[in-house]
Amino acid sequence: MTEVVHGILQKTSCMKNLSTLFFLVIVNICWAQTPARKDEIVIAEGLSVIKLTDNIYQHISDLQTIDFGKVKCNGLIYINGDDAIICDTPTNDKLSSDLITWLKTNHPQVKIKAVIINHFHADCLGGLKTFHETGIPSYSHERTKALLESKGETSNMPQNFFSTSLEISVGNKKIINYYPGEAHTRDNIFTWIPAEKTIFGGCMVKSMDAGKGNLADANVEAWPGTIGKIKSICPSARIVIPGHGDAGGQELLDYTIALFK
């Protein structure tokens, strides 16, 4: 009789363990599918957008890396009137196609006038081929071209280049792309949208409490001075979007300067 009771208890315990395991699996699935933020719009697996203002979206795409695991990478969409520009592509061609489709579906009157490439790394231009196939012209700093050629990575080569600054009209407003100097890479630029008081800084700007990240192509000594130039050019900035992590304000520039001093 004792053996029978013991067997029943073992089965009951096993069933409880299976139930607990099943519950944890379901919780993990639901957690994985839940956006990191309430205001995050999921477009596809590995791609989402956050509306920051009436005219500005932050796009976020996943990149699998060897050193840092899966990394969420930021870009920007600016819409004014019937025009739009995009800063940085999502991290691959499929996600870039998804983003373009989402934008055309939700803003059918809008023409994507340009894609601006922040620097030569894959988290900025991994989906550039899709933009070119869609007839969207691309722009980057002239050093981006040289760096991609030196590494033999020309399949995602931007089409147009500038040296110091580049203005692009978006509807009746202008955006200005600046080269402030070396930091995360030798070619990194930033995009200033005066009408929105918004900076897209890319990977040379760090989110609050972030680490130094990938320094393989960095000029760490020049980094604080380069960010200081951004502050002097854009003293009225209210929104600052880093290459990874949450957007913020001028405090992201100050944090980045302090991090690399």
Residues involved in catalysis = 119, 121, 123, 184, 203, 206, 214, 244
Residue 147 phi/psi, 5° resolution? Answer: -65, -45
Dist CA 96 CA 61 (whole Å): 9
Nearest to 136 by CA among 171, 106, 153, 160: 160
Dist CA 134 CA 25 (whole Å): 41
Q: Which residues contact 233 (CB under 8 A, 6 or more apart)?
A: 178, 180, 192
Dist CA 73 CA 63 (whole Å): 7
Amino acid identity of residue 75, one-letter, is: G
Which residues in 126-233 belong to E strands, given as ranges? 138-141, 160-162, 165-170, 173-178, 190-193, 198-202
Nearest to 74 by CA among 194, 170, 198: 198
Q: Are the C-beta atoms of residues 158 and 134 closer than 8 Å to each other?
A: no
Nearest to 92 by CA among 73, 118, 111: 73
Own/partner pairs for 148-151, CB < 8 Å, 24+ apart?
148/120, 151/120
Handedness of CA 231, 235, 237, 238 (dihedral sign): positive
